[in-house]
Amino acid sequence: MHAVVDSLAMIGVSYVMGFLFYGFYRQFNARVQRRWGPTIWQNLFDNMKFFFKSETLIHGPMFFFGPMIIMAGAFTTVLFVPFLKDSDWLQGFSQYGNLILIIYLLVVGPLGNALAVGSSGNPFGVMGVTRGLTRLMGLEVPFFLGLAMVMLQHETASVHAIMAAQDSLAHWGIVTNPIAFCVILLPFIGSQHGAPFDVVGAPVEVYAGPRVEFGGRLLGVLMTQRMMMSIAKLVLLVDLFLGGATNILVLIAKAFSLFLLTTVISMVFPRLKTEQAVDFFWKVPLGLGVLGVILTVWLPSWSA
Amino acid sequence: MLAFLNDPGVLHGIVVLGTLILFFIGLYGLLAKRHLLKVLIGIALMELSVYLLFIGLATSPGETAPILSDGLRSFTHMADPVPQALTLTAIVIGLAVLALGVSLAIQYHRLTGRADVASLTELKEPR
Amino acid sequence: MSAILRLLFLIVSLSPGLLLLAWDGSLSWTLIDGVRLSLTLTPLAGFFMVLLAVAAPLVALPMLRRPLDWSSLALYVPLVLGMELLLLAGDFISFFIGWEIMTWSSYLLLLRSPRADLETSQSYILFNLASAFLLLAGILFYYSLSGDFRIGPLAGTTFGQELILAVLLGLAFLIKVGTLPLHIWVPSSYDQAPDLFSAFLSGAISKMGVYGLILLLTLFPDALTSLAGRLLEGPAAGYLLAWIGVVTSVVATYKAIAQEDMKRLLAYSSIAQVGYITTAIGVGSSLALAGALYLALVHTLVKVLLFISVAGIVLQTGQRRFKDLGKLIERMPVSFFGVLIGIIGLAGMPPLPGFAAKYLIFVSLVDARWLLLLAAMILASTAAFIYCYKLIYGPFLGHANSPQAREAREAPLIYLVPQVILMALLVLFGFLPGLPVQVLIDPVLVALGMETIGGASWAELTTTYGGYDGVVLMLVFIIAFVLVTGIFLLLRGRMHRAGSPYDLSYAGEVPTEGTPLHYGAGMGRELHRIPLVGWILRRGTRGFYLGLAGQMRAAAALLGSLYVGRPQIWILIAVVVFAASLAAQSMLGGL
Amino acid sequence: MTLPLTPVWFVALPLLLAFASPLWVRLRLLMPLLVGTPAVLLLLALALLPEVRIAPLVETIVIAPPLGIHLQLDSASWILVALISFTGLLATAFIWLGDGESYLRDRRAFIFLLLLIAGCNGMVLTGDLFNLYVFLEISGVSAYALSALRRDAPALEAGLKYLLIGSVAAVFFLFAVVLVYLQIGQLNLAAIAEGFAGIPGPMQILIGLLMLVGLGIKAELFPFNFWVPDIYQGSHPVVAGLYSGFLVKAFLFVLFHLVFLLLADPGVAGAWLMGLGAATMLVAEVVALRQDDMRRMLAYSSLGQIGLIALALGFGAEATTAGGLFHMANHTLIKLVLFLTAAVLMRSFVSARLADLAGAGRARPLAAAFFVLGALAVMGLPPLNGFASKLWILKGFAEAGVFWPVALVLLAALIEAGYYFRWIKVLYEPRADLPEARAVERWGYAPIAVAAGLIVLLGVAPFLVDDLFIEGAQALLDRGAALSAVLGAGS
């Protein structure tokens, strides 16, 4: 019973947080561009509207199941990320998982969705999927390298243990392992579909992207899972680098500050093409990561 | 006048020289002539030179044929009979080979109208 | 008669499994003076025997489809028996005999395919024989060191001797597993082999190279932990091996993405997967070795599944290129699920066991502090998503691109049975990731004198870095999926299906039947524009090997010119050689 | 009347039967006797085996050695004699059962085939240097004639070429015999062996080189083997199979027999022969890559194996020698299969060229299967006999810690695979227009099947016969025992 309630709570928290954060994002973005922008609730309204559409066009059974898989994937991901430390609540099933599992769960859903896109028969959708996978290939390398540095630092892949080790501000990951944080930050923005790495789903000269064929309730599902996934990733980073959170308010505060940081970075850069993005990931963050490995792993072992 | 020939060393030297010359003539014929029969004769010459060398070196001046007859009742001062027997055998064999070679050459000539060693080109490496 | 023969054939294909159940004790006899063959079943060999026991009958079953190709069936028998011999071998001579029987019988099986061309078959047999002869050279060197052909750890050898042995045997096994730059024979032969036989090539035969690699390391004391010293937290020699494996994976993955043919794609993907295994063997810790064995198991299951599915597609459509297929999902649903499960396993996505294997390897890399290797491996393993997607999109999704694809029917039952069995196995191991570890892998680790890694229950996969629970993961996912779908269907509103496949939001245009709507062939082409990937894809070893073959022919022509058809020249050469050696001898004697 | 079972029958029986051939024609016994003679000789060899394994049989003709002539059947020469008889049996059985070309079934072929057998047996058995020359010429003449048997231009050309180069070899050998006699005054091999060390050094070298060239040409060693492919290509495949099967083996045996018998320390000569063997092997295998005539390809392959055997025997260790002798026997079986298969294919498709045989495996599956078996065996792939003997040789090298021959042998095997597998591939080429195959007598496959069966049997169970070869190697290498067997214990 506890597990069921806890799970529902986690899903609820991530849903609400996601829509509010992205509502804030839209407004913040508008203000920077000297517009008024929509209200902070606008995303939530849009989502509700999609969910109550009466007509939904599908292209075969796989087209329908794809969004279901991605949604289930989002739920699973959320449930395997511990939201709080030293608490019985908002833990989901995270004690049965670990960091590497979460990273892989993050891509289960998108691949399920890729099946739906493929079965729609729209080549532009598939092109978007390919771009998405290409970007994933680019960002995952430095991202994972940064995570590996964290795992090595704590000698565990368990998020709980990593959180527990950061008992004070001086032991926060961002303080003890700043290189890893720097390595992860830009790929993280990429994984959040944030600018400047957002060419996959962004409007271009012909609309291309994984969602090109979706409409109605299915689009609502896709929107929801994206918000929840974003929150899962944010919380994960909070757990790893910002010492986790002991209660929900701290969690929101820490996650929001991290979100603000990424948003600010996103706003000042122009959008990159997919190949440019990949090349960038492999040059700057990965180069930094290699440097970090040499500094934190190789040099100590040589001097020892 | 030719008494110095009775010296075995001199005689054997002459035999060696002569047979070697013969051998090289045969070799020349074998290598340089193009007519099949001439080539075969070259081989025959080479064989011949070997026989001569054998007989020549196995016999010294003053030795007689190894045949017992009237007045000759012991094997002293006789040539070694073995080389002669061997040479006879070898000549027979050489003759057989030569005969076979000539017959093949004749058949080849009848079949193709050619008798040139250089025309034996049916069997060769692929281009 | 025919029924009896087919039954015999099936029994032979089941024989590895029967052997596993029934074998006890050992067997030995003398081959020639001083060469004694002995057969035993070590736990390590037993593990690979399990792979064979799975792959052999499942590939054999669809081979019984009519019309029967008796030659293939007849050749399959020595192939399986040879591999059994190879695994049972307690000495290197039986190992070599099994290895060679495997080599030539698989070559002759390859020839049964009408598509096999001369270049492919030659490269297959020459690379494999080169591997075999390197192996034999290594065996003879081993014999000169130990005075015995029995497989066992060497003692009292110098580093130089170990190095020679490791290079000879290592090259032999690396050719077999197909690491860079010795992989050139793999793609074309997997591609051109008879469709079902490709499954066996990739699923079982390539694993023998893996077996050899592990066996090689057991020859040296401490090879798995500190051969040639230690680097960070692993063996220094293994670091080199691990990089060979990772570079192989990266390059092969990009080559796989660039393929336009299903079987070639799978071939390159096999190279990449075996590259991961090589890397893990290089790490050499008990975690890594468990990961290597686990990945070998999963790769066997997955590749046999995928190749049989693909064989079914080729059988029903006659097409094998992505651009000629499409939209088979409705016509071949079982095969679709086969490929779907297969690519999930191949990509190493949770919850299927491919993830468990990759997890062990990743953790072992972190544990050894070899993070750069880890990054390179992540590169390959993420890029693999692209070819996995291509593999399922090309044939099954999008639009049907040829008349055969439009009219295809589901593959025959005899093709579907092995697929279903393999899917069930993969899902089972997804639920119970600890099952293979405890049942299959731990005995091997014990035999190698390493720590076991089995957890408390079959559902768990545990490491010192933490683990995960397969049952929970699977149940959470399934429940979430059911709930989401259920709630979605309960919501107000209705769904209806698009009236025509051309009913698309196509950039404001209205596509027609003539519009090229299938993205199968070109998928991944844009990767060329990434500098690193473009650089990799522009390179290949084929030119080098073709050049080598050309040099060989030139040498043949040169030496062949000695064999002139002119008797006088023969005699001249003989006389000149005679005179020259006489002169040389007299000069030497005179001096 | 009982005829004593003595080694002299190995020479006498075929000679007698050959010269009485007109009688057999009249009695219509030509074919049965052609097959029967080697069969009887094989039985004789088997009957003598128990005695030979105890002690060498020395058969004196008229006067006892060292003055007289004698035949010596020890464990080493027994292998060769048995091999010659067995090969002769299979080849003649193929001629008879296979209902082959008429020119192989007439009286001349009968005479020359039996003479070839007699000559080779004589060469292997004789203990007398001049007899060796005589037998060498007998086998030579019969071989020239056999090559030319078909009497068309290629056959005559092969016969003529063979005759020219063979005569030169004979002259060289005769020269050596003459010099030996002039130096030692003896012709008995054992006696020569005792006196050989007393000859001045330069003369030893001259004699050695003359013999090397003479026997080297006959034994097909590089650089004296340029004639081989032409002759094999021009001759009928069955005849070529006999050349490759036992003729060259007999010469090779004689060469090494002389080396091990005459030289107290065969090290230097052995090293020379190893070098020649290695060169023979590598050059032949490389050149074989570009052949497109099956007979010619097989000729080069045969050269390669001869080189391997020379390499193994030249090393002079017991394991390599035993392996080398075993490989001789195995190679004979293999080449018999391959050449007889080539004969079948040639009869079926009229040509032996690669292009004309494409797809032949689908029209003549049995022949192609035998070709594949032979090819696998010749490359030394287990579980066939070529593997067992090659392993034995390589093991011998490894035991001695000498690795360059191992590397060369394996390299050569790889190159060999390069062309054999090309032929196999082409034989099984999928072709819409299969070549028209002429009928062949099915019984012709019987001898091939026997040889193929032995290939498999000796590959799976070489332990059945390995004692024979070890004893053979010991007999070949043990100079002291060989001398005392002939000259008495005191010498």
Contacts of D430 in chain C (CB under 8 A): 114
Rounded to the nearest angstrom, the minimum Cα separation between C29 and chain D is 9
In a domain, C512, yes or no: no
Q: Return the pLDDT at D438.
A: 79
Residues D248, D69: Cα–Cα separation, whole Å: 24
Full-model pTM: 0.94
Give the Å distances, CA to CA, from D242 to A303, B124, C14, D270: 74, 21, 45, 27
Nearest neighbour of C565 by CB, restricted to B30, B31, B124 = B124
Between D53 and C456, name the one with better pLDDT.
Answer: D53
Chain B residues close to C553, C-beta within 8 Å: none
CB contact under 8 A, C491 and A217: yes
Beta strands in C178-310 (DSSP E): 230-231, 234-235
Answer yes or no: do C171 and C287 share one domain: no
In a domain? residue C227: no
User: For residues D210 and D386, what is the distance between their CA atoms, to the nearest angstrom?
Assistant: 33
Identity of the residue numbered D239: V
Task: Report how many domains make up chain C.
Answer: 3
Average pLDDT, chain C: 90
The yes-or-no verdict on residue C102 having pLDDT over 50 is: yes
Q: Which of B39, B103, B104, B114 to mutate to test the interface with D (most CBs of D within 10 A)?
A: B104
D106 burial type by CB count under 10 A (0-12 exposed, 13-18 middle, 19+ buried): middle
Distances (CA, A) of A119 to A209, C32, C321: 14, 63, 18
Contact B115, B35 (CB under 8 A): yes
**C positions 130-189 inside 8 Å of D (CB):** 130, 133-134, 136-137, 140-141, 143-144
Instruction: State the Cα–Cα distance between residues C359 and C470, nearest whole angstrom.
Output: 13
Q: Look at chain D and report how many structural domains it folds into.
A: 1
- Determine the Cα–Cα distance for residues C408 and A213; give it in Å rounded to an integer: 27
- The verdict on C214 and C259 lying in the same domain is no
Per-residue pLDDT of A139-156, as tens digits, reads 999 999 999 999 999 989
Return the structure tokens found at C363: 């953790």
C273–chain D Cβ distance below 8 A for any pair: no
Same domain, residue pair C304 and C384: yes
Residue C76 has pLDDT above 50, yes or no: yes
Residue D3 lies in a domain: no
Angle made by CA atoms D45, D47, D49, in degrees to the nearest 5: 70
Q: The tokens 């079902």 sit on which residue?
A: C196
Given CB atoms, is C81 within the 8 Å cutoff of chain A?
no
Euclidean distance between CA atoms D223 and D221, whole angstroms: 6
CATH architecture under which domain B3-61+79-119 falls = Orthogonal Bundle (1.10)
How far, in Å, are A68, B19, C329 from residue A126 at the CA level?
18, 94, 16
Find out whether C566 and B120 touch, Cβ atoms under 8 Å.
yes
Q: pLDDT tens-digit profile of A273-293?
A: 888 999 999 999 999 999 999
Given a cut of 80, is residue C275 above it in pLDDT? yes
A55-58 and D69-73 strand pairing:
unpaired
- Integer Rg of chain C from CA: 27
* Pairwise CB contact (< 8 Å): B39 & D148: no
Q: Tokens representing D405?
A: 């021959």
The partner residues of B13 in beta bridges, in order of sequence, read: none
Strands C494-497 and D57-61: unpaired
Per-residue pLDDT of chain B (127 residues; tens, 9 = 90+): 677 777 878 888 998 999 999 999 999 999 999 999 999 999 999 999 999 999 888 887 777 777 777 766 666 777 788 888 889 999 999 999 999 999 999 999 999 988 888 888 888 888 7
Query: According to the model, what pLDDT value does residue D403 have?
Result: 93
Which residues from chain B sit within 8 angstroms of residue D67, using beta carbons? none
Sign of the CA dihedral running C34, C35, C38, C42: positive
Where a domain ends, among C440, C475, C495? C495
Q: CA D460 → CA A48, C108, D373, D467, distances in Å?
A: 78, 20, 14, 16
* B31 at C interface, C-beta within 8 A: yes
Tell whether C264 and C215 lie within a shared domain: no
pLDDT at residue D491, as a whole number: 44
- HEC assignment per residue over D393-462: HHHHHHHHCCCHHHHHHHHHHHHHHHHHHHHHHHHCCCCCCCCCCCCCCHHHHHHHHHHHHHHHHHHHCH
Side-chain half-sphere exposure of A111, counting CA atoms within 13 A: 27
* D151-to-C230, C529, D142, D166, D238 alpha-carbon distances in Å: 75, 70, 15, 19, 16
Chains that contact D by 3+ CB pairs under 8 Å?
Answer: B, C
Interface of C with B (CB under 8 A): 560-561, 563-568, 571-572, 575
Q: Which of C67, C51, C49, C70 is nearest to C59 (CA)?
A: C51
Residues of chain A scoring pLDDT < 50: none
- The answer to whether residue D180 is domain-embedded is yes
User: Are chains A and C in contact at 3+ CB pairs closer than 8 Å?
Assistant: yes
In this structure, the strands spanning A55-58 and C494-497 are parallel
Which residue of D202, D227, D382 is in closest CB contact with C567?
D227
Q: Quick check: is C295 in a domain? A: yes
Q: Quick one: D340 exposed, middle or buried, by C-beta within 10 A (0-12, 13-18, 19+)?
A: buried
pLDDT band at C502 (very low <50, low <70, confident <90, very high): confident
CA–CA dist B92, B67 (Å, integer): 22
CB contact under 8 A, D230 and B80: no
How far, in whole angstroms, is CA D216 from its chain's centroid? Answer: 14
Q: Does B41 touch chain D (CB under 8 A)?
A: no
From C560, C568, C575, residue closest to B117, measured CB to CB: C568
- Euclidean distance between CA atoms D161 and D159, whole angstroms: 6
Contact B101 D164 (CB under 8 A): yes
Same-domain pairing of C185 and C280: no
Q: What does the pLDDT average to over C456-472? A: 88
In a domain, D181, yes or no: yes
| Same domain for C466 and C562 | no
In this structure, the strands spanning A55-58 and C27-32 are unpaired
Give the closest-approach CA distance of D183 to chain B in angstroms. 10
Residue C412's SS3 state is coil
First to last CA, chain C: 79
Range of the domain at D408: 9-487
Predicted complex ipTM: 0.92
Q: How far is residue B61's CA from residue B2's CA, in Å, rounded to a whole number? A: 12
H/E stretch holding B48 reads helix B36-58
- Name the residue range of residue C301's domain: 254-495
Q: Is D160's CB within 8 Å of B54's CB?
A: no
Q: Does D185 touch chain B (CB under 8 A)?
A: yes
Find the mean pLDDT for residues C50-66: 93
Report CA dihedral (C399, C402, C404, C405) to the nearest 10 degrees. -20
Contacts across the A-C interface (CB distance below 8 Å): 234
Low-confidence ranges of chain D (pLDDT < 70): 1-3, 62, 65-66, 435, 489-491
- Among B53, A142, D170, D217, which Cα is nearest to C379's? A142
User: What pLDDT is recorded for position C498?
Assistant: 81
Q: What pLDDT is recorded for position A237?
A: 93
Interface contact C456, partner D, CB < 8 A = no
Q: Is residue D1 part of a domain?
A: no
- Do B and D touch (≥3 CB pairs < 8 Å)? yes
pLDDT for res A77: 93
C236 vs C224: CA distance, rounded Å: 10
pLDDT value at residue D176: 94
- CB contacts of C556 in chain D (<8 Å) are 286-290
